[in-house]
Amino acid sequence: MPHFDKHFTLAEASRLLPRLREIFHQIQGLIDEARPEPITPFPDPGHRFVGRLNGRAHKRPPLSREEITRRINDLVTEITDQGIVIQDITRGLIDFPAFINGEEVFLCYELSDGDRIQYYHAINAGYAGRQLLPHGLE
């Protein structure tokens, strides 16, 4: 009996990657925003500002931690509501339940893999059990 209700073909999972990559970059930006900024005695000359006000540069107001948390939760929900399993939010490591040769597995992807899914692993094997996808898998 399958462990998951939703299963993806490689083609279905691959079509989702552009949006998933965008989501994880947004999440990383929100995580970065939540980190306290180091105190520096002088402004960083390379710092970018959102706009100008009366000839002086200004930054947009920082988001509250509650707003950052809400936005991250909304993005995570967008992923998990599709049946995708998030393994590591900071690495963008996700698993798509799938079947390969009749065996229920995870199509395994992380942001550093680039723009395509190349690996899979058994449901109970985890990241350490990642293997290259069989040649010719559609």
Q: What percent of the chain is predicted at pLDDT more than 70? A: 81
Q: CB neighbours of 40 closer than 8 A, spacing ≥ 6?
A: none
Q: Residue 131: beta bridge partners?
A: 120
Q: For residues 101 and 134, is the Cβ–Cβ distance under 8 A?
A: yes
Using DSSP bridges, classify how beta strands 56-58 and 51-53 pair: parallel, antiparallel or unpaired: antiparallel
Full-model pTM: 0.79
Tell me: the pLDDT tens digits for 76-91? 999 999 999 999 999 9
- pLDDT band with cut points at 50, 70 and 90 for residue 2: confident
Alpha helices, DSSP H, located in the chain: 10-34, 65-80
User: pLDDT tens for residues 35-64?
Assistant: 876 655 655 555 555 555 555 554 556 788
Lowest pLDDT segment from 13-27, 49-63, 92-106 = 49-63
